[in-house]
Chains A and B, each alone.
Chain A
């Protein structure tokens, strides 16, 4: 039974060191923000650092009037669930879960501590909130859904004469279906029409993009695994038919799409941190609309653009974060 005794001793020790640090600082009006991520990788770590940076900008300085707790579940959802319980028990001022499984575990663990999630692609289907505009309850946050509105604006800037946007996607990929719906909404706002071509498997990509020649003035590829895995065959048709191809992800630009806008996750974190700061200052999470992450990284490929018969405006090239393919 020595294990039990040891464990009790260790638990008692942890119980002493943990909670006692907090009340002392609480006297100095200190706030506690508990951050958790499902794994540690560069994008998620940058998100966390961005949150802390934004809080500093808002006057909450770590070590002075802010205590930041951070836990990574090391890829294990059971640990994520346990971290969520731990945070629910230690009652920080705000919990910031990064990624969908971490956010769901936190939402299941508390109904009253303010939660500001981030890097959750689709908060509605993840059942984090019922509505993006008025989340209600104790939860709000930020979605890292692809910035489709910015993509449409980019297409209009580079191909001003475009009236019809073709879209290649696999109807079997839920993520793509969501993006295509968003594309239709944004295109309609800009007075453009959308022409769909379905790609159920990678070998269908080339015939599908051929079918768009003459029917579309530019082609948009969402974050679709099926189409992206056959990207080169799509690019080849774009070059032959002088049909500019755009992608939702910045990685595809190096492979030959004209341009894309993607996220800098440090900025995603800063945007999230700004919401956290508002909650720390007393606003109710349920009253704050869920924000969409703003894309900041603009990747362009002038060589590919030329091959597809378009010239990148100087303004676009000048503000590009990265110019590839030269």
Chain B
């Protein structure tokens, strides 16, 4: 793996870490399987791209992208909470609707940003190579998000949100407005995904309607790999686990991309990636089994 490829994988892993954190919020904390992210990711990219073309400040454009994602999340939450549509179905409805919305926002299927100023522009030309500047800037943004979110989830509101996910009935008995926490949590989750879409568009030079495909799978894989690598009870560590999981997932893709040297074809990429992640998930379990088995066998204990 070359240095540029390695930093590239880290950079894309960091961008998708925001998705992983979003999925962690909805899927783990709120126990709400939310597929909206497949639509809110390209929505963030689209909103950011058209605003950049219109000359808006890149940071403001990124913020607007996050807000757009949050609004998409609110739509899903409304369909679920207010109109009692099953969460999975509610999020699928928002996701497919967003495909049309994204085409409307962009006016065409692909908006190019290769020649636009982005949040990264001021950091280029400071003497650090581009392929290191990008993960550095994205990494700082992700670090800020992790810090803010860890604080938020330890606040009274955040604790109530976690209680909502663990046991909604108990939370309501304690006077928690569980509906409000579902709205806030799903909005926050998709807001982070929208921000990720905006960063993806800015680091790769384009927004495309197809950028959303498979976002939920990548997010879930990152969360689960992260939980395996960093089995943490502390919330801040769990968030860091999401980031680590996302980067590891991208490194697995990178290894799969080099698999042609052992006779695999380009079309085998998804299979190889899935196998690498599966091995990562199975190995710790086997190891745990082995260590548990050890005391029962005194001869092996020596």
- List residues of A whose CB falls within 8 A of some B CB: 1-4, 6-7, 10-11, 14-15, 17-19, 21, 38, 40, 69-72, 74-79, 81-86, 88-91, 100-101, 104-105, 107-109, 111, 125-128, 130, 174-175
User: Which residues, 138 to 174 on B, are CB-close (under 8 Å) to A?
Assistant: none
User: Which residues, 1 to 35 on B, are CB-close (under 8 Å) to A?
Assistant: 1-9, 11-12, 16
Interface presence of B195 (CB below 8 A) = no
Q: Is the interface of A mostly helix, strand, loop or mixed?
A: helix
User: Which residues, 225 to 275 on B, are CB-close (under 8 Å) to A?
Assistant: 225, 228-229, 248, 250-255, 257-262, 266-267, 269-270
A82 x B248 contact (CB < 8 A): no
A7 x B251 contact (CB < 8 A): yes
B205 x A89 contact (CB < 8 A): no
Known: A108-B114, A126-B110, A127-B113. A86 touches B280 (CB 8 A): no
User: Which residues, 201 to 217 on B, are CB-close (under 8 Å) to A?
Assistant: 203-206, 208, 210-211, 213-214
Residue in contact with A88 in the complex, picked from B110, B131, B228, B270, CB distance below 8 Å: B131
| Min C-beta distance of B105 to chain A, whole Å | 14
Known: A75-B213, A126-B110. A17 touches B4 (CB 8 A): no
Give me 13 A-to-B residue pairs in the complex whose CB atoms sit less than 8 angstroms apart, sorted by A's number: A2-B284, A3-B229, A6-B283, A10-B276, A11-B251, A17-B258, A72-B269, A77-B200, A81-B203, A81-B204, A82-B253, A105-B204, A127-B115
Known: A11-B255, A105-B206, A109-B8. A85 touches B114 (CB 8 A): no
B12 x A77 contact (CB < 8 A): no
Residue of B nearest to A128 (CB): B114
B12 x A78 contact (CB < 8 A): yes
Known: A76-B213, A78-B200, A85-B8. A101 touches B208 (CB 8 A): yes
A79 x B114 contact (CB < 8 A): no
Q: Other than the known A76-B213, A108-B205, what 7 A-B pairs have Cβ atoms closer than 8 Å? A: A6-B279, A77-B204, A77-B213, A82-B253, A89-B4, A101-B206, A174-B107
Residue in contact with A14 in the complex, picked from B1, B108, B205, CB distance below 8 Å: B1
Residues on A with beta carbons closer than 8 Å to the beta carbon of B250: 82
CA distance A83 to B248 in the complex (A): 16
CA distance A2 to B225 in the complex (A): 12
B112 x A69 contact (CB < 8 A): no
CA distance A40 to B130 in the complex (A): 30
Residues on A with beta carbons closer than 8 Å to the beta carbon of B84: none
User: Which residues, 84 to 139 on B, are CB-close (under 8 Å) to A?
Assistant: 107-108, 110, 112-115, 130-131
Interface presence of B221 (CB below 8 A) = no
- Counting contact residues on chain B (CB < 8 A from A), the size range is 35 or more
A74 x B267 contact (CB < 8 A): yes
Chain B, residues 181-214, CB within 8 Å of chain A (1/0): the string is 0000000000000000000100111101011011
Residue of B nearest to A173 (CB): B108
Residue of A nearest to B8 (CB): A85
Residues on A with beta carbons closer than 8 Å to the beta carbon of B9: 82, 85
Known: A11-B255, A78-B200, A174-B107. A3 touches B205 (CB 8 A): no
Residues on A with beta carbons closer than 8 Å to the beta carbon of B210: 38, 75, 77, 101
CA distance A126 to B206 in the complex (A): 8
CA distance A10 to B261 in the complex (A): 12
B270 x A74 contact (CB < 8 A): yes
CA distance A284 to B257 in the complex (A): 29
A127 x B131 contact (CB < 8 A): no
Known: A17-B261, A86-B257, A109-B8. A7 touches B112 (CB 8 A): no
B4 x A77 contact (CB < 8 A): no
Residue of B nearest to A111 (CB): B130
Residues on B with beta carbons closer than 8 Å to the beta carbon of A10: 255, 276
B228 x A3 contact (CB < 8 A): yes
Max chain B C-beta neighbours (<10 A), residue from A11, A40, A82? A82
Known: A11-B255, A105-B205, A126-B112. A88 touches B266 (CB 8 A): no
Residues on B with beta carbons closer than 8 Å to the beta carbon of A38: 210
Interface presence of B218 (CB below 8 A) = yes
B252 x A7 contact (CB < 8 A): yes
CA distance A89 to B4 in the complex (A): 5
Interface presence of B287 (CB below 8 A) = yes
Residues on A with beta carbons closer than 8 Å to the beta carbon of B12: 78, 81-82, 85
B253 x A88 contact (CB < 8 A): no
CA distance A86 to B280 in the complex (A): 23
Residues on A with beta carbons closer than 8 Å to the beta carbon of B113: 127
Known: A72-B269, A109-B8. A7 touches B204 (CB 8 A): no
Residues on B with beta carbons closer than 8 Å to the beta carbon of A85: 4-5, 7-9, 11-12, 131
| Min C-beta distance of B179 to chain A, whole Å | 34
Residue of A nearest to B203 (CB): A108
A127 x B205 contact (CB < 8 A): yes
Residues on A with beta carbons closer than 8 Å to the beta carbon of B8: 81-82, 84-86, 88-89, 109
| Min C-beta distance of A136 to chain B, whole Å | 12
Residues on B with beta carbons closer than 8 Å to the beta carbon of A72: 266-267, 269
Residues on A with beta carbons closer than 8 Å to the beta carbon of B218: 78
CA distance A40 to B254 in the complex (A): 19
Residue in contact with A108 in the complex, picked from B6, B204, B267, CB distance below 8 Å: B204
CA distance A111 to B1 in the complex (A): 20
| Min C-beta distance of A103 to chain B, whole Å | 9
| Min C-beta distance of B37 to chain A, whole Å | 13
Known: A18-B258, A78-B200, A82-B12. A2 touches B114 (CB 8 A): no
| Min C-beta distance of A121 to chain B, whole Å | 9
Residues on B with beta carbons closer than 8 Å to the beta carbon of A11: 1, 6, 251, 254-255
